[in-house]
């Protein structure tokens, strides 16, 4: 069984006991969170598609930790002009574990 869920503006294909990195959530570590925006669910080969969401379906997850992603460097340069600029970015992430998918 799997489901496609909208979590913090991004869509994820999740299964039970899967660990996923998502954008930072406003929940404490160890807390349970529910996601009700289930777009699609597959249960034993029977696919249910929402318009846009499935009514009554939800995904329950547990927050494992809050962390920061790897640094991404952005380098800009214009040749023969002496212009170069380097900046970096580290995304704030939350690691969650999917505990239950209910339809």
Residue pLDDT, tens place only, 45-58: 999 999 999 999 99
Quick one: tokens of 93? 């992430």
Q: Are 22 and 10 within 8 A, CB to CB? A: yes
Q: Tens of pLDDT along 3-47?
A: 999 999 999 999 999 999 999 999 999 999 999 999 999 999 999
> What is the C-alpha separation between 103 and 101, in angstroms, rounded?
7
Distance CA(15)–CA(10), nearest Å, equals 16
pLDDT reported for residue 91:
97
| Rounded CA separation 79/89 (Å) | 24
**Residue 103, pLDDT above cutoff 90:** no
What is the span of the domain harbouring residue 73? 2-102
Q: How many domains does the chain have?
A: 1
């Amino acid at each position: 069984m799997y489901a496609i869920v909208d979590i913090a503006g991004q869509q994820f294909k999740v299964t039970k006991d899967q660990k996923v990195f998502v954008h930072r959530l406003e929940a404490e570590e160890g807390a349970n969170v529910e996601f009700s925006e289930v777009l699609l669910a597959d249960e034993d080969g029977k696919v249910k598609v929402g318009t846009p969401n499935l009514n009554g379906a939800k995904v329950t997850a547990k927050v494992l930790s809050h962390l920061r992603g790897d640094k991404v460097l952005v380098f800009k340069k214009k040749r023969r002009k002496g212009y170069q600029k380097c900046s970096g970015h580290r995304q704030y992430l939350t690691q969650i574990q999917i505990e239950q998918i209910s339809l």
